[in-house]
Every structure is written in structure tokens, then in C-alpha cells.
Structure 1
Amino acid sequence: MTLLVALPILLPLAAAGLSLAFGRFADVQRVLGMVVLGVLIVDSAVLLYVADTFGPVVLQVGNWPAPFGITLVADRLAVLLLLVSSVVTFAVLLYSIGQRITDYGRGASSTTFHPIYLVLCAGVSLAYLSGDLFNLFVAFEIMLSSSYVLINRRATATRIRAGMTYTIVSLTSSLLFITVIALVYAATGTVNLADLAQRVAELPDGLQTALGLIVLIVFGVKSAMVPLHFWLPDSYPNAPAPITAVFAGLLTKVGIYAMIRTQTLVFAHNESWRLMLAIALITMIVGALGALAQNDINRMLSFLLVSHIGYMLFGLGVYDTAGLTGVILYVIHHITVQATLFLVSGLITRHTGTVALSRMGGLAKASPLIAVLFALPALSLAGIPPFSGFVAKLALLQAGVEAGTWSAYAVTGGAVLTSLLTLYAMARIWTRVFWGRVRKPEADPDPEDELVVGTGTTARAMVISTGLLVTVSVAIAVAAGPLAEISGRAAADLMRHETYSTVVLGGDP
């Protein structure tokens, strides 16, 4: 079983090398990428069954015992998010092939899209499975170096400016991350998460608080937590739709995962976390109000992404099993729905040739299928029953009420208000894009351009991949009962972090 833990990291990296070697053979690259990501879905599903039935699967790389070697840990939380992320990366790759972004530059030389995309997938897997702070840092650097290439593959002045903002902020957070790792190692003599769970508790309270806040800032930047979110609305909308989708769906959620893992395992709390509850409320409201001020559909979705990060912070701030269960459900829902909405935005742009809501209209008549593909995830994001967003939000609202504190009540009210603002934003997109008179595409498509917009048509693979994610989102709602049970067990594991430490360090849980 330990081989299954290494596979999500090693297989994409090996496939990236092969894909680069076969760079001039488009069909080989496409098939290789799709097969590898399909295998990762199966591998993640098997790991989820094993972790849920028998407990965490631990791989000590090179047979070096923890805490001295590299440790990979596949527990319920890590594998659950790995499975959902694998499905999203599979669908986004299919969409990218349909949009032909994968072939950009192929006329002059072999394309680098497939190798870089596979390296990104390996980085995401390593982040979920990493059992120590340093390799978590390595995972983020793998993801960020890949994302630098993907976001700037087709250089324009606007994209370069946005890429520079993204690069500078990411490098700054990385420098802060490696600094805090050095401080933690200096204070404890280890970077292994399971070992840190024991050693950090022995540090003076003030030092614990300082280290915990620095770690919170690092992952707050990476997850676009307000007020550290300013880089996201300027960076994500300028990338092609599938790149934005995988960034919005996965990269910010990896930051949330790292925050949950460290703040429950290493810097544990004994009661509701008022600072986090305050940040959650501010993030919800600021993001939602920012979305309502936008005319660019991608910027509106980016601000909504920031807003809904607040829901995940809300559950972490409640800091009990019910709150963490809600967080896990919400992350699963949001990975799928947010990626889907950006893919649908790509379909809309493909038809209309513009991202400006004020210059769209009548798409429901021109393309009813796109209208359906937008409506389902939009209703889910707004929390309308019986969709997955409603299930996740209901779990969070119940946790907030059961917490019984005035701060939790305030954030619960803010969560309801944010849902209404999200519904208004989705209704605004619907009325501007899909109602009214049909408008002709604004752009004249260039047959030599791999990223054509304004064609009035969409490739079948783009529609199929978007429909796949919509189906997954609906399936999450249908399977809400079993999924909530698994999430509840994962949340209980987080609250009983002694089990994690015991298993990793070689004991019997």
C-alpha cells in the first residue's frame, strides 16, 4: 500500500519527463497526460478506502524512520482532497486539449504545456501527502514554478503585469515560509509535523503564538485570505480559462489545507478561535462586495473565490469537530464548483469574444447547453438546495450556531448575508449574459490563433469536460450523507491529532 502513496507524486513527474521527450508528438502527449491523471483518480479512490477503513497509510521514504527522513502520510483528509483534485485536473486537461491551449507554440517547437501541467499535479499531490514542513514548502515551490510558466505561456503586456504581481507575492510568501521553517527548526530541532505536534506544545506560550501567526500569514497569502488577497483578482482573470480554473480550484485550497493541517496538528487551540472568526467574516463580506463592483466576468468570479475562502476560515475558527466537518465538505464542494464556473466562463468568452458583462446577451437562446452548465454550479455556489453548496453551508451554519458564542453567531449571520450577495452576483451574470437580445461575437477569429474567441462555437471536449465537473458537483450533493460521514471522521482525526503523531512516529494507533 505504501507504493500507492508515492504514486501520485512519482507518476506525474515521470510522465512529465516522457511528455517532454515526445514533445513533437501531440497525440502521445495528450494520451499520456489523460492516462496518468486517470490512474491518479483510481489510486486516490483506493487510498481513500484504505485510509477510511484501516487508518492512515504512511511511507517513510528510503526507510529512514520519522522524524529523520521524508514522510508521506495518506490520511482521510489528505486522500479525500487528493481524489477531488485528481478529478478536477483530469477534466481541466481535457478542456485544455479541446481549447487547443495545449498546442500553443507547437508550430515552432514542442509544446511545454503537458510536462508543466503534470509537474503542477505532482506538486499538488505532494502538498496533500507531505508529512513535514520542509517538503510542504517544496510542494508549494513545485506548484508555483509550474504556475509561473502556465500563467505566462502566451505573453501579452497585461498578462506579464499580472504575472509579475503573482510572482512577486508568491516569492515573498515563500521567503517568509522558509524563514518560519528555520525558526521552527531552531526552536524544536525538527520539521516533521507529527514530531512538531509534541515539541511545539513544550515551547513558551508567546513563542508558540508568534510562530503560529507567521504560519497563518504564509498560508493566508497562498489561500487569498483578506487582507492578503489583493494579488488574486489581478492575476487569475488574465490567464486562459483552464489555467484559471485549475488555479482557482486547487492552488488556493492547497493553502487552506496547509492552514488546517498546521493549525490543528502543530498549533492546536482549546476553544473557538476568535481571530480566525473575525478574519472569516471580513473575507466573506469584502470578497462579495468586490464581486458586485465588477463588469469583467472573470474578475467577478475571482472576488467570489476570495469571498468563499471565508466560509472555510469560518469552520476552522469554530474549531470543533462539527466546524471542521463543514470545512472539509466546503473545500470539496468549492474545488469542483469554482473550477467549473471558470470553465463555463471560457465557454462564454469563446462565444461572445468579450469578458465584459455589459457587452453580452442572449446566450441562453444561442446556446442553451452553456446556460445549463452555468446555472447548476451557480446555484450551488449560492447555496441553493439541494446542491452541494447548500449541504456544505448548512453544515457550517449548524456548527456556528452550536458553538454558542457571540463571535460565531456574528459570522453565521455574515455567512447568510454572503450567500445572498453571491446569489445576487450569479443572478446578475445570468441576466447580463443569458437574457436579452442575442449579440454577435465581437472578435474576428484568427485561424492561426490557438486561443480563438468570438467564434460562436465551442469544441466538444470543452463542453464534455465542463459537463463532467457539473456532474461531479451534482454527485457530491446526491452522496451528501456518506460524504458527510467520511468528512466527520476526517474532522475527528484532526481533533485527535495524537493518532496522527503515533502512526507517523511508528506507534500503534
Structure 2
Amino acid sequence: MTLTSAALIPLPVLIPLLAAAVTLILGRRPRAQRFITVFALVATLAVAVALLYFADRDGIDVMQVGGWEAPIGISLVVDRLAALMLVVSAIVLLSVMLFAVGQGIHDGDEQQPVSIFLPTYLALTAGVNIAFLAGDLFNLFVGFEVLLAASFVLLTIGASADRVRAGVSYVMVSMVSSMVFLVGMGFAYAATGTLNLAQMAVRMDDVPPGTRAAIFGVLLVAFGIKAAVFPLSSWLPDSYPTAPAPVTAVFAGLLTKVGVYAIIRAHTLLFPGGELDGVLMVAGLLTMVVGILGAIAQNDIKRLLSFTLVSHIGYMVFGIALSSEAGLAGAVFYVGHHILVQTTLFLVVGLIERQAGSASLRRLGGLALASPLLAVLFLIPALNLGGIPPFSGFIGKVALLQAGAESGSVLAWLLVGGSVLTSLLTLYVVARIWTKAFWRARADAPEGELADIGPSALIDESETDILLEEREDVGKMPPAMLVPTIWLVAIGVSLTVFAGPLLDISHRAAENLLDRSVYIEAVLGGDGQ
């Protein structure tokens, strides 16, 4: 580990935390808040890119906080997986923040109180990065709790009845997940006498198989709720769509992947024996199929995309459950792809609401003619999500299908079939959005005349003109919201252009994950007891 890389490791947490404190102090100066937030997130992205370079060149980097050696002290660990997640999350968090600031400047602070939003958003960023860097279960739990606190504030901004209801539901589910996580931590500590992941990995080998499987099962429930793995995913479609477009985008694209990251880390480092791989495969298959069938039944684009989000978590669980380098590499690549594409689609939905006044397929039509740019911005990530070649979605799915075929087990082949079916149904879902929202004439939409009025359209004709006057933003897409969306679409396309190097990094990350000795030696220095 070089001095340079060691000094960088805590910065993805310290930069957003310090920026959150400063922006909170500057609550009456929104311009200063915006500048500090942009600077902090750009700096975080730069640090994340540097950490990825060092991790890929030199291997795992570790910082022992306060000079206390592991396992007594707090270890911050950066391997290829953690660094990849830091980079992708930093790109998404920066892009969504720029979109949100553009929306706030256009609408005014009454619709999106910047003095509250930006410090909370920076705290959310810190929580995400704590989870990725944590070298022990306790600080992984701390990262999740920072996310929970910030998420509740972001979900309920505006304090409408629907948002508060969704926020309370989200918090209750998250608290249940946190309680299960605490129970799992207690079991793990009782069995191994430590919470340091590297030392726990060594000592877990001496735990009886039944006890080890039970501990893994409890942790899987906790992480499965956060990752929205079926049957622990029913909370998600009701929680995300009510939030503002930027909040929905970052939640849908990124936060569930923190749960997936925790599953990968626990499965490869603590419980590598494959005792629950069959359970994970069944969960992955059901997550794919149930999620996409739920999407087919939706008329609101936000809810529809929320269900596709659930279904595509199944692909990641599929790769993890294979317990092979090819499967893990496919899962790592697909996580990065899906974070970017899903976030982009939710931002595009925010633009659709701007352009047409609604996200309901019953009210939309003619968007391709009204805004060709918006049509392109939707079509590219939609095709990517559906897995059309040569996009990165196709490349990631092919990598997972090849890994499943190489496994050759009955469950693996069932998952290969389920993956193909889910991909075809995803194409059907995005084609349905395209034909109804973009291609057909707006006059042919069952409720097309209500689109400009917005979601609360239970009105009489005398109120129509008043509400239309209140919705002056209909038909207008501010450039400050368009530019970050175009930027994310371009990055999604770049995943295809640079798919070879990215898959190589994913394979190297998977190789590191499967060779636990490298992680253990880096953290403990060869003393694993």
C-alpha cells in the first residue's frame, strides 16, 4: 500500500460529511450551498477514480483508523469491488445532484428546499461510501443507518400525504431490516468473538456448518430486504414512486445495490462454502419473474420501472449464487450497468413529467413528435435495460448466461431460462412505454386530456384552467435538468464502448473475491486469529 493511496481511503466519507456540515451552516445562502455540494461530489468522484486505479494496480488497500491495528481498530478496506462501487456511485450521485439543483433553481426553493436537501444528500453520499469501505459488520451497519436517516428526509421532502405515508412505510421496513441485521451481528459475534470481517472469515471456518448456515441466513434476510430480493421486495414499488424525480432516481439506481454489495461481501468472504446457493438461486429466479410480471401490470411509468428494478436484482443474485469467477464477474459488471441505466431512466421519467404533465401511460401520447430529444433519451437506456445488442445490458446478460451454462446444474439452467424470459418481458415492457407514451397520438390516450393537469386530476371542468395556469412547467424541460440526463445516457453508452476493459476489471474483482486469503492478509497482516 502506497502512502498516497492510504491517505485517500477515508476521503470518500470525510469529504461529503464535512461538506454536509458546511452546507447546513450556510442554509440561508443557497448559491454557496450548491457550489460546495458540486465541489464535494466532484472531489469524491476524483478520489474514487484514483482509488480504483490504485486498487487495480497494487491490490487491496487498507487504512487502520487512528493507528489501531486490526482487529481491534476500525479497518477501511478498498479492493477492486469496493473501488468500482465507489466510482459508479459517485458518478450517479453527482449527476442526480446536478439534475436536482437544476430542478430546484427552475421551480424555486419552495418545491425543493435546498437548505434541507443538499446537506441530507451529502449525508446519504457518506452513508453509501461508509458501507462500501467498511471492514467490519458494525460499520457496515452504521453505513446502512446513515442511509436510513438521510433517506427518510429525502423521501418526505414536500411533506405531502403520499410522501409521508411512503416514507413511514420505507422507514418501518428499513428498521425491521436493521433489527434483523443486529440479530445477525449478535449471532456472528457470539460464534466468532469478532466483528472484523477478515478475522471473522478466518474464525467462521471453525463454526459448525449448521450454525454457520443459520448466521448466513439471518444476514441474507437483512441484506435481502435492503436489496429488494423476492419475497422481501414488496415495499419498494410503494416507497419510491411518490418521491421527487431526483430522489427516486438515486434510490432506485443506487441504494438497492448497497444491499447487493453486502450480499456479495458476506457470500464470498464469510460464507464461501455455498451452503445456501440453492436458496439464492431460487430467490434470484423468483425475483426476476415476479418483478417483471408486476411491471407488466402497471400503468404508471415510475411504478413500472420500480418493478423492473426488482426483477433485474434477480440477475445479480443469479451471478452471486453461481459461486464462480465467471458468475461473480457477470454480477459485478451487471451491478455497475444497472445502477447507471436505472438511474437514467428515472431521470428521464422526471423529464416526461415536465414535458407532458404526467407519468401515467393512460394520459401520455405523442411525445416522440413533441420532443424528439426526450424520445432519444428514453430509447437508449430502455434498449440497454432490455438487453438489446450491442448495449452493456446485453453484454452483462450474456456473461451471466454463459456462467450459468458453465455451471450446468438444474437450478442454473432454470435461471438461464428465467433470465431469457425476463429479458424478453423487459423488452415488452419498455416497448409498451414507447408505443403508448411516445408513438401513439395523444388524442388516442384514454385520459390524454388530463395529462397537463398532473397527478391529482379528480376535478371538474371549471377547475381545469386554474390548474393549467398553476402548471406552467408543462412542456418545458430546463437545460439544467437535460444536461445531467444526457451525460448519464452517454456514460451508459460508454459502458458498451469500453465493455472489454470493464469486464476485465470485473473478472479481476471476482478473482480477488474468491481468493479470501488476499483480503485477510491485507487487513490482518497474516495474523488471522
Normalised by the length of structure 1, the TM-score is 0.96
1:182 and 2:201 aligned: no
Paired residue type of 2:225: V
1:471 and 2:482 aligned: no
CA deviations 1:469-500 (Å, max 9, x no partner) are 11111111110000000100000011101110
Q: CA deviation at 1:455?
A: 1.3
- Partner Cα separation in structure 2 for residue 176 and residue 118 of structure 1: 27
CA deviations 1:289-347 (Å, max 9, x no partner) are 00000001100000000000000000011110000000001000000000000000000
Q: CA deviation at 1:355?
A: 2.0
Higher mean C-alpha deviation, range 261-270 or range 107-116? 107-116
The match for 1:298 is: 302
Q: CA deviation at 1:508?
A: 10
**Does the C-alpha gap of structure 1 residues 384 and 110 become closer, same or farther in structure 2, counting only changes over 3 Å?**
closer
1:506 and 2:525 aligned: yes
The correspondence for 1:342, drawn from 341, 346, 368, is 346
* Partner SS, residue 400 of structure 1: helix
Paired residue type of 2:480: A
1:481 and 2:500 aligned: yes
* Partner SS, residue 502 of structure 1: helix
- The runs of 5 or more residues in structure 2 that have no matched partner are 443-447, 455-464
- Partner Cα separation in structure 2 for residue 259 and residue 159 of structure 1: 29
The match for 1:437 is: 441
* Partner SS, residue 359 of structure 2: coil
Paired residue type of 1:70: I
The match for 2:160 is: 156
Q: CA deviation at 1:182?
A: 1.6
- Partner Cα separation in structure 2 for residue 250 and residue 456 of structure 1: 29
* Partner SS, residue 355 of structure 1: coil
1:134 and 2:153 aligned: no
- The runs of 5 or more residues in structure 1 that have no matched partner are none
CA deviations 1:179-235 (Å, max 9, x no partner) are 211221122110000011111111111110100000000000000000000100000
Identity %: 52
1:269-348 equivalences in 2 (<5 Å): 269-270=273-274, 273-348=277-352
* Partner SS, residue 238 of structure 1: coil
Preserved CA contact (<8 Å) 1:352 1:453: no
1:8-27 equivalences in 2 (<5 Å): 8-27=12-31
Preserved CA contact (<8 Å) 1:180 1:215: yes
Preserved CA contact (<8 Å) 1:120 1:147: yes
Paired residue type of 1:257: Y
**Does the C-alpha gap of structure 1 residues 81 and 258 become closer, same or farther in structure 2, counting only changes over 3 Å?**
same
**Does the C-alpha gap of structure 1 residues 353 and 447 become closer, same or farther in structure 2, counting only changes over 3 Å?**
closer
Q: CA deviation at 1:162?
A: 1.2
- Partner Cα separation in structure 1 for residue 128 and residue 190 of structure 2: 28
Preserved CA contact (<8 Å) 1:249 1:339: yes
- Partner Cα separation in structure 2 for residue 267 and residue 273 of structure 1: 10
Paired residue type of 2:334: Y
Aligned length: 507
The correspondence for 1:237, drawn from 234, 241, 256, is 241
The correspondence for 2:80, drawn from 55, 64, 76, is 76
* Partner SS, residue 63 of structure 2: strand
The match for 2:172 is: 168
Preserved CA contact (<8 Å) 1:272 1:319: no
1:216 and 2:216 aligned: no
- Partner Cα separation in structure 2 for residue 437 and residue 291 of structure 1: 23
The match for 1:32 is: 36
The match for 2:359 is: 355
- Partner Cα separation in structure 2 for residue 381 and residue 68 of structure 1: 44
- Partner Cα separation in structure 1 for residue 350 and residue 523 of structure 2: 43
1:362-381 equivalences in 2 (<5 Å): 362-381=366-385
Q: CA deviation at 1:103?
A: 7.6
- Partner Cα separation in structure 1 for residue 114 and residue 440 of structure 2: 44
The correspondence for 1:491, drawn from 497, 506, 510, is 510
Preserved CA contact (<8 Å) 1:400 1:408: yes
CA deviations 1:120-174 (Å, max 9, x no partner) are 0001111111000000000000011000000001111111211111010001111
The match for 1:247 is: 251
* Partner SS, residue 378 of structure 2: helix
Paired residue type of 1:324: L
- Partner Cα separation in structure 1 for residue 250 and residue 327 of structure 2: 26
Paired residue type of 1:384: I
Q: CA deviation at 1:441?
A: 2.3
- Partner Cα separation in structure 1 for residue 276 and residue 254 of structure 2: 27
CA deviations 1:375-427 (Å, max 9, x no partner) are 00000000000111011101000000010111101100100000000000000
Preserved CA contact (<8 Å) 1:102 1:114: no
**Does the C-alpha gap of structure 1 residues 234 and 165 become closer, same or farther in structure 2, counting only changes over 3 Å?**
same
Preserved CA contact (<8 Å) 2:453 2:468: no
The match for 1:461 is: 480
Preserved CA contact (<8 Å) 1:13 1:118: yes
**Does the C-alpha gap of structure 1 residues 101 and 428 become closer, same or farther in structure 2, counting only changes over 3 Å?**
farther
**Does the C-alpha gap of structure 1 residues 171 and 448 become closer, same or farther in structure 2, counting only changes over 3 Å?**
farther
**Does the C-alpha gap of structure 1 residues 132 and 239 become closer, same or farther in structure 2, counting only changes over 3 Å?**
same
Preserved CA contact (<8 Å) 2:6 2:61: yes
Paired residue type of 2:165: R
Paired residue type of 2:75: T
Paired residue type of 1:304: T
CA deviations 1:28-73 (Å, max 9, x no partner) are 1111111111111111111111101111110000010001111100
RMSD: 2.0
Paired residue type of 1:466: T
The correspondence for 2:117, drawn from 113, 117, 124, is 113
The match for 2:457 is: none
**Does the C-alpha gap of structure 1 residues 369 and 407 become closer, same or farther in structure 2, counting only changes over 3 Å?**
same
The match for 2:459 is: none
Q: CA deviation at 1:109?
A: 8.2
Q: CA deviation at 1:442?
A: 2.8
